[in-house]
Amino acid sequence: MAIADIERRLTALGANDAHVQRVLRHWVQDRPLTEGRRKLEHFLPQAVRDALPALMDELHGLTRLLESHPGEDGSARLLVGLRDGQTVESVLLPRDGLCVSSQVGCAVGCQFCMTGRDGLLRQVTSAEIVAQVALARRQRAVKKVVFMGMGEPSHNLDAVLEAIQLLGTAGNIGHKNLVFSTVGDPRAFERLSDGPVKPALALSLHTTKPALRRELLPRAPRLTPRELVEAGERYARETGYPIQYQWTLLDGVNDGEDELDGIVELLKGKYGVLNMIPYNSVPTLPFVRPDWDKARDIARRLHERGVLTKLRDSAGQDVEGGCGQLRARSLDLPRE
Ligand code: SF4
């Protein structure tokens, strides 16, 4: 189900734009349909009121909480069931954030990611993306949504943009608190600039070397790191939001002096921040998490050389490593 389908169904029942927004707010924010003492018939046509209980059951049934794994950092990894029996992961982040999934599986096939192991199984619909937020809000407040879960958002662009549009309006999430995360796709840059709700942007850089990037992200669009940063810089200047450059730190792979020099050359003076995230080791993948002190030293040195760098641990690191592992475990998928 797409959000446009929900809107069409309500319109066919006689709802106008304000009615549709009221119903969507009721779903995504769990807000009452009425205000003050005025009765429901003042707010919605009879046919919409009659259809509402079944529609709400249907919308709340788009996602089911199958497992919740709280981490020591205030996060919780959620395994979410979809109606056809597929599963995705959402992560409740510290400080009222939520990380959502945009695809079941992923076609990019990053060498260090469990989600990429299965390839793409199916797209997550726009309503299922928003339903992850509605489900999380039944656990706690959500004021920020990042599209950094399973999947590459630019490979499901129509659905992700439709969800962003709703979350930035009826969902009551500030536009800069919606974060579209991508390996970089020219179509995404064009469409994000055009939309009425412009999210912040996170770009997965991971290396400054074009050949190594092709190896690590084998099916990402063939933009070089420099082209990626140029596109990011244009978007940052246009929106006024700094770009978040994501760098999964892999011991002995992308943490050498040559990469540090490359980062300074690419990012110094740019309107962005470099987020370095030490890799979460997975027993059967051939990458190693760098020592935390080494990672801290790298971040400090980059900072001293003029690149705003933040060292982060991925949420729920103590729970179950990186994205895709909960799903793999629930299905007993091979992890190699
Ligand atoms: Fe896909 Fe992201 Fe995993 Fe790469 S890291 S395979 S883009 S989900």
Q: Which residues pair with 99 in a beta bridge?
A: 91, 146
Average the pLDDT over 198-221 and give the result: 95
Q: 3-17, 76-90, 93-107, 109-123: lowest mean pLDDT where? A: 109-123
Q: Determine which helix (DSSP H) or strand (DSSP E) holds 310, and give its type and residue range.
A: strand 309-311
Domains defined along the chain, listed by start:
1-33+47-61 (no CATH), 65-319 (3.20.20.70)
This prediction's pTM: 0.93
Residue 41: Cβ-neighbour burial (10 angstroms; 0-12, 13-18, 19+): exposed
The residue annotated as part of the active site, out of 99, 106, 113, 323, is: 323
Distances (CA, A) of 194 to 6, 187, 201, 324: 23, 11, 14, 31
Query: What distance in angstroms lies between residue 288's CA and the mean position of ligand 1's atoms?
Result: 18
Nearest protein CA to atom 6 of ligand 1, as residue = 116
Average the pLDDT over 19-45 and give the result: 87
- List of residues 6+ apart from 17 with CB closer than 8 A: none
Query: What distance in angstroms lies between residue 324's CA and the mean position of ligand 1's atoms?
Result: 9
Q: Which residue has the tokens 């929106």?
A: 239
Half-sphere exposure for 223 (CA within 13 Å, toward CB): 21
What is the ipTM metric for this complex?
A: 0.99
Query: What distance in angstroms lies between residue 116's CA and the mean position of ligand 1's atoms?
Result: 6
d(CA 180, CA 203): 9
299-333 pLDDT tens trace: 999 999 999 999 987 665 544 444 555 565 555 44
